[in-house]
Structure 1
């Protein structure tokens, strides 16, 4: 990346860039930060200040299909230790996680809970950690964590803004970019009607789709009806769906039983953090034809079913030209300030286990967002 492009990234992420200047002036020499997350251009303003402050930063991907290789190259050029590339295999993902936990760190930043769980199992005792996803909270539930973990998935700012709006805003341009299809008149089934599913469904309706919601929570089904969506049991919804979108945070939501019921020609999409909400391993046991980048056709009982981005988050599929780092700016700032708080001792007196993300840090970011900084 040249200077002009880096300047543009800084201009489109003003909150993180501004807060990062103070972090860069800190003295974090001798400290180590280990992170497992999506590696896109919006991560550059997060990690550059810690490198400038003297910290050692080690980075691995949380998802095989949300790594931008140009971002990896730039981060390596400024001294970040990165073990990642776009399209890593399952084995390579496991190796990168093992590499990340092969030595202790002072602060962890995780998306999906795997790094935190592995570090705890290895006996590491960082000062603190950050977790960003519903999937990660599911994976950490019930574990005895020997260090504090700041949950920023649960902050109001992320639920009200990123989960509810931003994922949906980016999902459907990605869908159209990959498939060449519009949504007008298509039957879209959204599985999971939490904040992410709500935003995805709302944007689909805006674009002309007929939306059906599947959820185990009857209250959410009532909410879906009030939002103008149909509701149905999974098996009923799948039989007529043109597009099926998973948004639950759980593995195996569409397993063998469900995939066997999907309508011929249906397009399968995931926007939840886990790249196994759709059982890609089961699909891979069937004849597969790559159609174009991020689009594969499977023959199931003689009929075609299509999968986008290998089951990984379609809104973060690389190389589509639709990414908007500005949308993630306040949440990059959440990570920046959270890591800064851990390294500067603000988490020293917190009890072990999951803890709420500091409200005063969220409020600081929200004030900048509300003032129109972005």
Structure 2
């Protein structure tokens, strides 16, 4: 069953036609968002998808219904997937005795991967990881027990990273406008000047926001200053900002930083709240905060006469508006499928891998042909592995 039609369907059909098939199966962690699901049809060409694991904070209800009509959808829980016994039992229940590829977003399989590779009755052929945070989780393992392909640093992901920054700022602006507030003329602090943080800073600057950037990496901090952003000590950067956006994925904001925020500041995250913030005490009496839901997507926290506003409950704020990416998202989705095909068709030793440049070029050429040509032009280019 085709979930979506149009250019994306044609593009992924073209990608899949150039990739080898196999008798293997796949478990796929994914966002379930409108306009982004055709890649599952292409994945089915490479390996039968026996389970889809929707990211909890980015599962659009209607899209989930469409996917659930085609694929089994299971719950994704980081604590459970970190338990080797639980993970092994889960994989046995979905793919016992089979050759299996794991598609990941955020390193969910990393903690228990070594034991699962040993205990699983079939063979874990490898993992394909989508994100920088997930890649770091696999890199932190003492020894990789199987091959791991990363697309996190692929040039085909760069358009997505820039668009994510724009989507985050769009969502922030939309929420503020619902409160009768606007972005132009405000002061913002962006924590982290990586691929997404730099996109956030640029999108804020384009909306006439005065931007201060803080990054613990001196090279990135220098890059931010060199292109014109302000800098300064963290207490001053936080205290002078009407809006703080954290894009580090490494608990940049904890309870100890809340007193540094100016009264009435807005706080937003660019990744999962579990990765971006360490604010568990907000819901505890020990934290001393009272919460008031102002509108859907914004909560006000008060303590001792001071307040701040938390957007999206601390999770990636762009998913409040389905994080629309347009056709650019298909580039990296196609590379994920191509990486899975390589895992299943070529022998690999355990270790980190990237898709070859020639494969990326073929994917990009097919994408350009699909999305930049006249609507009545014929299809025909295949994308070999």
TM-score range, shorter chain: 0.7 to 0.9
The residue number in structure 1 matching 2:224 is 224
1:279 aligns with 2:278: yes
Alpha-carbon spacing, 1:202–1:219, altered in 2? closer, same or farther (3 Å): same
Output the TM-score relative to the length of structure 2: 0.82
Is contact 1:60-1:96 (8 Å) kept?
no
In structure 2, how many angstroms separate the alpha carbons of the residues matched to 1:313 and 1:73? 22
2:299 maps to 1:308: no
Query: The residue matched to 2:58 in structure 1 has which SS?
Result: coil
Contact map agreement 2:39 2:330 (CA 8 A) in 1? no
The verdict on how the C-alpha distance between 1:157 and 1:22 changes in structure 2, with shifts beyond 3 A counting, is closer
Q: CA deviation at 1:70?
A: 1.6
**2:381 matched to which residue of 1?**
none
Q: Given that residues 50 and 57 in structure 1 are in contact (C-alpha distance below 8 angstroms), is that contact kept between their aligned partners in structure 2?
A: no
Matched, 1:167 2:164: yes
Query: 1:66-120 deviations in whole A, cap 9, x for unaligned?
Result: 1112222111211x11124xxx9xxx56457777651155101111112233333
**SS of residue matched to 1:241:** coil
1:27 Cα offset (Å): 4.6
Alignment partners' CA distance in 2, 1:219 and 1:240:
23
SS of 2:29 mapped into structure 1: strand
- 5+ unaligned residues in a row in structure 2: which ranges? 373-385
Give the alignment of 1:140-289 within 5 angstroms. 140-143=138-141, 144-158=143-157, 160-163=158-161, 165-180=162-177, 181-250=181-250, 252-273=251-272, 275-285=274-284, 286-289=289-292
Cα drift, residue 16 of structure 1: 3.0
Task: Work out whether residues 46 and 341 of structure 2, in 8 Å CA contact, stay in contact via their aligned partners in 1.
Answer: no
Tell me if the contact between 2:16 and 2:46 (Cα under 8 Å) persists in the aligned partners: no
Count of matched residue pairs: 351
C-alpha separation between the residues in 2 aligned to 1:195 and 1:284?
31
**1:178 Cα deviation after fit:** 2.4
Alpha-carbon shift at residue 152 of structure 1 (Å): 0.8
Q: 2:69 pairs with 43, 57, 77, which one? A: 77
Q: Is the 8 A contact 2:192 2:214 kept in 1?
A: yes
Find the structure with the greater CA-based Rg.
2
Deviation string 1:123-157 (CA, Å, 9 cap, x unpaired) is 34411211111111222223122100011112223
Change beyond 3 A, Cα 1:229–1:13 = farther
- Maintained 8 Å contact 2:188/2:209: yes
Q: Which residue among 59, 71, 78 is the counterpart of 2:52? A: 59
Q: Take 2:128 and 2:21, find their aligned partners in 1: how far apart are those partners?
A: 21
Q: Look up the SS of the partner of 1:197 in the other structure.
A: helix
Deviation at 1:321, TM superposition (A): 6.1
Change (3 A) 1:260 1:121: farther
Q: Conserved in 2, the CA contact under 8 Å of 1:16 and 1:330?
A: no
Q: 1 CA distance for matches of 2:323 and 2:48? A: 32
User: 1:212–1:289: structure 2 CA closer, same or farther, 3 Å change rule?
Assistant: same
Of 275-284 and 308-317, deviating more is 275-284
CA distance in 1, matches of 2:368, 2:41: 25
Distance 1:65 1:52, change over 3 A: same
CA contact (8 A) 1:168 1:196 kept: yes
